[in-house]
Structure 1
């Protein structure tokens, strides 16, 4: 089902799941070129998209430690990273939250959480909250799928990972994976926007 955009509003339902969303006035839209960044990883090293010379693109996910939605998706994010980084699309996770408001999302606690869960991907700290407003992220988790096109990283999908944060076994629509499969097979992404479901960025 194609996404229909009318007066800045995306209206569609996929198998009963309401993915209506208002396009953010600020931040990236599908088709925009995402600028690179340099953020500190949990190992203390700075990470940029340009570090990944062989990547075909990136799965940028804004997430955090404390949000129950983010916690519910951690195992799925690990599985997606393991599967798709081998195909050229690694996960790059970014914690966008203000740690004074939510100390549970501190850099130190990010290190602990990543170790506990065995994160297989970079978990970067958006110090000063400079990157998430560029993207227009509003939730944790909030996904931005980027495709390398020459020297550019072009936004090809924005929104949710899938349609059921509560139970992975009951997911009917794998929005992110459907978009990834379309890119890998040079096909059109049918749903380029879905409504991100999660905690508001603090």
Structure 2
């Protein structure tokens, strides 16, 4: 079922975390924070929305990192119900695709709840002071990647944040599979 997250709550402060990465390290928000901003994205291994645009996510992450934006990906899905999203499978996923950023496992789902993450992919773009400036889509792709010449919404928004400290007033929410929450 497709889920759309809420619109950007400008200035909302990024929630801290300490999560294990696929590289064997434990990462905090301070570790991933960039000089000109930080992108926190919630993704997973099996979501068709994520898989459709994974190459674009990797491209935009590299380009944003080159501009001083810190980038991190977090998977919070219930791996017991969705074994494709297990931590071991995350390690393979990140290595096979050559992630240039940490890929972290939120097994307790506390970080996803603190961010009010709704779907995969869900993008949170913060300014240098870790105030939220973007909560929108990567581009106009959905379950299938759109044409290669689509406007790079996330990239353009984060570029604007890096240059001005402000995100765009008009943002189109991301769409993707719901976060796979553990049973209560």
- Paired residue for 1:97? 77
Cα distance, 1:54–1:61 mapped onto 2, change above 3 Å: closer
SS at match of 2:23: coil
1:78 lines up with 2:58 in the alignment: yes
State whether residues 157 and 192 of structure 1, in contact with CA within 8 Å, keep that contact through their aligned partners in structure 2: no
Q: Verify the 8 A CA contact 1:158 1:193 in the aligned structure 2.
A: yes
Query: Which residue does the alignment assign to 2:132?
Result: 155
| Higher RCO, Cα 8 Å, sep 6+ | 2
TM-score normalised by length of structure 1: 0.79
The question of whether the paired residues in 2 share the 8 Å contact of 1:175 and 1:191 is answered with no
Q: Point out the structure with the larger strand share.
A: 1
Q: TM-score normalised to the size of structure 2?
A: 0.86
Q: How big is the shift at 1:194?
A: 2.2
Q: Distance in 2 between matches of 1:188 and 1:194?
A: 16
- Asked if 2 retains the 8 angstrom alpha-carbon contact of 1:38 and 1:46, the reply is yes
Q: Please say which structure displays the higher CA radius of gyration.
A: 1
- Work out whether residues 163 and 171 of structure 1, in 8 Å CA contact, stay in contact via their aligned partners in 2: no
The answer for the alignment partner of 2:175 in structure 1 is 197
Unaligned segments of structure 2, at least 5 residues: none
**Structure 1 gap segments, 5+ residues each:** 1-20
- Cα separation, 2, equivalents of 1:140 and 1:75: 15
